[in-house]
Amino acid sequence: MTKIAIVGVSGRMGRTLVEAISMDNSATLAGAIDRQDSSMIGRDINNNHIAVVSSLLDVIDSIDVVIDFSSPLAAVGNAEICGRFGKNIVIGTTGLTSEQVQCIKSASKSTAICMSSNFATGVNLCFKLAEMAASALGDDVDIEISEAHHKHKLDAPSGTALTLGHVVARTLDRDLDQVAVYRRQGDIGERDSKAIGFSSVRAGDIVGDHTVMFSGDGERVEITHKASSRMAFAKGAIRAAKWLSVQDSGLFDMQDVLGLK
């Protein structure tokens, strides 16, 4: 039985993770963490006899793996704590800076970390399909990536859209930082054939839609994933946590968990 702590239990993903763990016969909720000013502090989570605390340090001795979908700053701090105490951590937080990613990489030298922009199994299959499509279609197509999320999402493009971009760019031997186009307005001129375009929608309660389009002369290939519930992400994160519980140290992603590498 994998003993899991959830960081950010009052958030949308946190609540979904609690529900998903309750339906999993090989995982149990062993810790619940929320921000210090949360009204949830001290309360029992779903009658599990697990009181919400404000620091991972309060439960570090009673858990195997942490799942963190909170904030970049909190994720970095919790990764460092896990590295210090030899506990593994799943990080689903997006919007991290390059410096924060480096901190997480450093922590992975002492513990196992699984970090991914998206833990849904279907999305990770799409990463692989995008790689295959880019390899087969090469430079003969124009590539555009579109995504849509709820109005409360803070970062754009989404981490998943950026991962799709990196997968395609790497396959085509391009530097995404050099070829990505994030904004088009006015007289933009003819499209650069090497460009990888991004577009974002923020509206309502959209859970998450992603499409990568390969458009050539006379035909178009589109790889699309639509999430209708956060449960897809939660179940994937729990799957990652159970897989991670038997790893020693290193930085992994969901592709490792699913054996797609």
What's the confidence (pLDDT) of residue 106? 96
What's the confidence (pLDDT) of residue 220? 98
Number of neighbours of residue 260 by Cβ within 10 angstroms:
14
Alpha-carbon gap, residue 249 to 244, rounded angstroms: 9
Buried b (16+ CB within 10 A) or exposed e, 115-142: bbbbbbbebbebbeebbebbeebeeebb
Helix (H, G, I), strand (E, B) or coil at 247: coil
Contact indicator for 82, 107 with CB cutoff of 8 Å: yes
DSSP 31-69: EEE--TT-TTTT-BSTTSS-BEES-GGGTGGG-SEEEE-
What's the confidence (pLDDT) of residue 188? 93
Separate counts of helices (H) and strands (E) for the chain: 8, 12
224 Rama sector, left if φ>0, alpha if ψ -120 to 50, beta otherwise: beta
Domains and CATH numbers, the chain: 2-119+230-258 (3.40.50.720), 121-227 (3.30.360.10)
DSSP 84-148: HHT-EEEE------HHHHHHHHHHTTTSEEEE-S---HHHHHHHHHHHHHHHHHGGGSEEEEEEE
Which residues are identified as catalytic?
A: 149, 153
For residue 136, which amino acid is it?
Answer: A
Nearest C-alpha neighbor of 240 from the set 222, 257, 215: 257
pLDDT in tens, 33-63: 999 888 889 898 877 789 999 999 999 999 9
The parts of the chain modelled with pLDDT lower than 50 are none
What's the confidence (pLDDT) of residue 47? 72
What's the confidence (pLDDT) of residue 45? 84
Counting beta carbons within 10 angstroms of the beta carbon of residue 219, is it exposed (0 to 12), middle (13 to 18) or buried (19 or more)?
A: exposed
Helix (H, G, I), strand (E, B) or coil at 205: coil
Contact indicator for 2, 20 with CB cutoff of 8 Å: no
Q: Can you tell me which residue has the tokens 């391009």?
A: 174
Residues 6+ apart with CB under 8 A from 152: none
What's the confidence (pLDDT) of residue 95? 86
